C-alpha cells in the first residue's frame, strides 16, 4: 500500500513490513482512552486559538461519533493504517474533512501513546483495586464462618503448631492488602500527563498542558519531554505489582490444591469450580486453582519481557516501545481474571473441620509448648528443647501421642513437669496462649478480623 506519511517517500511499503509492524491488531483496545486524550487536546488547541474554536468543536463531535461506532462494534479497524492513532485520525478526516487534519497539531504519536498507556493503566489499577478488595472480602467471610476451626500450621510442609483457620486465611488477606497498597502507590506515578512533549523536545505552539491535565484528571504534568516519551517505568511497575499479586494467588491456589487431596482432605471445592477426568470417573480436579497457579508464569514473564525490552534503549522514543503492549495487556487481563475467579471460588469451598481437627492430633504440635512450660519453671530453653525432644522420640517408638503420656512418664524426662502440664496438651490451649499482636489466639484474630473488615 502507499505510504501513510508519504510526502518524503517515492516507493511504497512492502506488504510484509506492514504486517510485521502494525499494532492495531492489539492496540485497538486503547481507542476509548486515545479518543478521550484527543478530545482534551483538541479542546485545548481551540481554547488557545492554535486552531479555530469551530474546528475544535467539529473535531470533538467527530471523535465522539467515532467513539460510539467503536463501542457498538461497527467501526472497522484497518491494519494497513498501522495503529489505533492513525485509524482514528483517518476516520476523523474522512468524516469531517479539513478540520480533522488539524488535530495532530503540537502532538506526536510518541506523546500520544504515552498518554494512552497512562490513561489505560490508571483505569486498570482502579479496576484491579476493586477486585483485590472483593477477594479480601471473600477471605474474611470464610474466616468468620469457620472462626472456631483449628488446623495444623506448617513449616517445611510438616506439622508445626496449631493455628486458627481464620489466622491462616488472614495471612492471605495481609498479602493482598500489600498488593492494594502497591497499586495505590504506583497510581501516583502513572498519574502524570505526558502530552505536550510532542515527538521528544516539546512544541513551538503555545499549548496549555495544565488544561489538558485537568480535563484528564492527572495529578501532575511531566517535567522532561524526553523522559516523558520514552518512559515506561510505570508499566514495568504495573507488571511487577501484578506479578507479585499473582504470586500470592498462586500460593493460595497451591494450598487449595494440596488441601483438596485425599491425603489432606481439609477442603472440598464446589462442583462449579472443579472438573472431571476424561478417563477416571472418580476424579474431581481443582483445575481452576491449578490454572491460576499456572498463569502466574505469564505475568512474571511480562515483567521480564518489559525490563528486557527497555534495558538497551537510548533516549527517546524507539519503536521497540511498541512491544510493551501485548505483555502488559496480558498481565493485566490475566490478573483481573484470576482475582475475579478466585473471589468466586472461595465461597464454594467446604471446610472439613473434623479432618483439620484430627490432623492437629498428629505431629506432636504441642512440643514447643511443653518446652516453653519447662522454661517457665526455670529450665533453659535449650535444655527444655532437648528434654521434650526425648519425650517425642519415646512417643514415636511406642506409637503414642504426647497427651497419652502419664504424669510419671513425663516426669521421667524432667522433674519439672507437674500435673497442670496435661491441660497444655490441647490445640485449643496452644492456640489461646499465643496472645499478643499478630498471634493466633482467638481474641487477637477477632480483632485482626475487625481491622480487616474496616479496611475494606
Ligand atoms: N504503535 C506505536 C507504539 O505503540 C505508537 C507510537 C508510534 N510512534 C512512532 N514514532 N512510530 O509505540
Take residue 431 and report the three cell numbers written for it.
Answer: 492456640
Instruction: Count CB-CB contacts under 10 A for residue 455.
Output: 12
Strands of 10-84, DSSP E: none
Per the CB < 8 A criterion, the answer to whether 233 and 224 are in contact is no
Take residue 299 and report the three cell numbers written for it.
Answer: 505475568
Question: For this structure, is 260 an active site residue?
Answer: no
Per the CB < 8 A criterion, the answer to whether 319 and 83 are in contact is no
Angle at 233 between CA 228 and CA 237, to 5 degrees: 145
Long-range contacts of 26-29 (CB under 8 A, 24+ apart): 26/325, 26/326, 26/329, 27/83, 27/84, 27/325, 28/77, 28/84, 28/87, 29/329
pLDDT in tens, 137-193: 999 999 999 999 999 999 999 999 999 999 999 999 999 999 999 999 999 999 999
What is the best residue among 26, 319, 325 to mutate for testing ligand 1's pocket, by most ligand atoms within 8 Å of CB? 319
What is the best residue among 22, 82, 321, 323 to mutate for testing ligand 1's pocket, by most ligand atoms within 8 Å of CB? 321
Per the CB < 8 A criterion, the answer to whether 321 and 83 are in contact is no
CATH 1.10.40.30 fits 359-455, yes or no: yes
All residue ranges of the chain with pLDDT < 50 are none
Q: Per the residue annotation, which of 277, 380, 403, 447 is the catalytic one? A: 277
Give the global pTM: 0.95
pLDDT in tens, 61-95: 999 999 999 999 999 999 999 999 999 999 999 99
Ligand 1 centroid to 122 CA: how many Å? 20
380, with CB counted inside 10 A (0-12, 13-18, 19+), is: exposed
Alpha-carbon distance 325 to 327, whole Å?
A: 6
Ligand 1 pocket member 76 (CB < 6 A): no
What does the pLDDT read at residue 1? 66
Q: Are strands 220-221 and 150-155 parallel, antiparallel or unpaired?
A: unpaired
Question: For this structure, is 156 an active site residue?
Answer: yes
Ligand 1 centroid to 374 CA: how many Å? 70
Q: Domain 15-105 carries which CATH code?
A: 1.10.275.10
Strands of 381-444, DSSP E: none
Fold of 110-149+162-352: Fumarase C; Chain A, domain 2 (1.20.200)
Cis peptide before 316 (omega within 30 of 0): yes
CA-based nearest residue to 329, from 20, 95, 15, 23: 23
Please identify which residue in the block is written with the cell numbers 486515545: 34
Ligand 1 pocket member 228 (CB < 6 A): no
Distances (CA, A) of 222 to 38, 197, 207: 18, 8, 14
Number of H helices, E strands in the chain: 18, 6
What does the pLDDT read at residue 39? 98
Take residue 117 and report the three cell numbers written for it.
Answer: 498507556
| Extents of the domains making up the chain | 15-105, 110-149+162-352, 359-455
- Helix, strand, coil shares of the chain as percentages rounded to 5? 65, 5, 30
Angle at 121 between CA 78 and CA 295, to 5 degrees: 90
Amino acid at each position: 500500500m502507499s505510504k501513510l506519511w508519504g510526502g518524503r517517500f517515492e516507493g511504497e511499503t512492502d506488504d510484509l513490513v506492514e504486517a510485521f509492524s502494525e499494532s492495531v491488531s492489539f492496540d485497538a483496545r486503547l481507542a476509548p482512552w486515545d479518543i478521550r486524550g484527543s478530545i482534551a487536546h483538541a479542546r485545548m488547541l481551540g481554547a488557545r486559538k492554535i486552531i479555530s474554536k469551530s474546528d475544535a468543536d467539529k473535531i470533538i463531535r467527530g471523535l465522539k461519533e467515532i467513539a460510539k461506532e467503536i463501542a457498538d462494534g461497527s467501526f472497522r479497524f484497518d491494519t494497513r493504517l498501522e495503529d489505533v492513532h492513525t485509524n482514528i485520525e483517518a476516520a476523523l478526516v474522512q468524516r469531517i474533512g479539513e478540520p480533522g487534519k488539524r488535530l495532530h497539531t503540537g502532538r506526536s504519536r510518541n506523546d500520544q501513546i504515552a498518554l494512552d498507556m497512562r490513561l489505560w493503566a490508571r483505569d486498570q489499577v482502579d479496576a484491579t483495586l476493586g477486585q483485590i478488595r472483593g477477594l479480601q472480602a471473600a477471605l474474611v467471610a470464610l474466616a468468620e464462618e469457620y472462626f472456631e476451626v483449628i488446623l495444623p500450621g506448617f513449616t517445611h510442609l510438616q506439622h508445626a503448631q496449631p493455628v486458627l483457620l481464620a489466622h491462616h486465611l488472614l495471612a492471605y488477606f495481609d498479602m493482598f492488602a500489600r498488593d492494594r497498597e502497591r497499586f495505590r502507590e504506583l497510581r501516583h506515578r502513572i498519574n502524570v500527563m505526558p502530552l505536550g512533549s510532542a515527538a521528544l523536545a516539546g512544541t513551538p505552539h503555545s499549548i496549555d498542558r495544565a488544561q489538558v491535565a485537568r480535563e484528564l484528571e492527572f495529578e501532575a504534568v511531566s517535567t522532561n519531554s524526553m523522559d516523558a516519551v520514552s518512559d515506561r517505568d510505570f508499566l514495568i511497575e504495573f507488571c511487577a505489582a501484578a506479578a507479585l499479586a499473582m504470586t500470592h494467588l498462586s500460593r493460595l491456589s497451591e494450598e487449595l490444591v494440596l488441601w483438596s487431596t485425599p491425603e489432606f482432605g481439609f477442603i472440598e471445592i464446589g462442583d462449579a469450580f472443579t472438573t472431571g477426568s476424561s478417563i477416571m470417573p472418580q476424579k474431581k480436579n481443582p483445575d481452576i486453582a491449578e490454572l491460576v497457579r499456572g498463569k502466574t508464569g505469564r505475568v512474571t514473564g511480562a515483567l521480564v519481557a518489559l525490563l528486557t525490552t527497555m534495558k538497551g534503549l537510548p533516549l527517546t522514543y524507539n519503536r521497540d516501545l511498541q512491544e510493551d503492549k501485548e505483555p502488559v495487556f496480558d498481565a493485566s487481563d490475566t490478573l483481573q481474571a484470576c482475582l475475579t475467579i478466585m473471589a468466586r471460588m472461595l465461597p464454594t469451598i467446604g471446610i472439613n473441620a473434623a479432618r483439620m481437627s484430627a490432623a492437629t492430633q498428629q505431629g506432636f504440635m504441642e512440643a514447643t509448648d511443653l518446652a516453653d512450660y519447662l522454661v517457665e519453671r526455670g529450665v533453659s530453653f535449650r535444655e527444655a528443647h532437648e528434654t521434650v525432644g526425648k519425650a517425642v522420640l519415646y512417643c514415636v517408638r511406642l506409637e503414642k501421642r504426647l497427651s497419652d503420656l502419664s504424669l510419671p512418664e513425663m516426669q521421667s524426662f524432667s522433674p519439672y513437669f507437674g500435673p497442670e502440664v496435661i491441660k497444655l496438651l490441647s490445640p485449643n490451649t496452644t492456640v489461646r496462649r499465643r496472645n499478643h499482636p499478630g498471634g493466633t489466639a482467638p481474641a487477637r484474630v477477632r480483632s485482626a478480623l475487625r481491622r480487616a473488615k474496616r479496611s475494606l
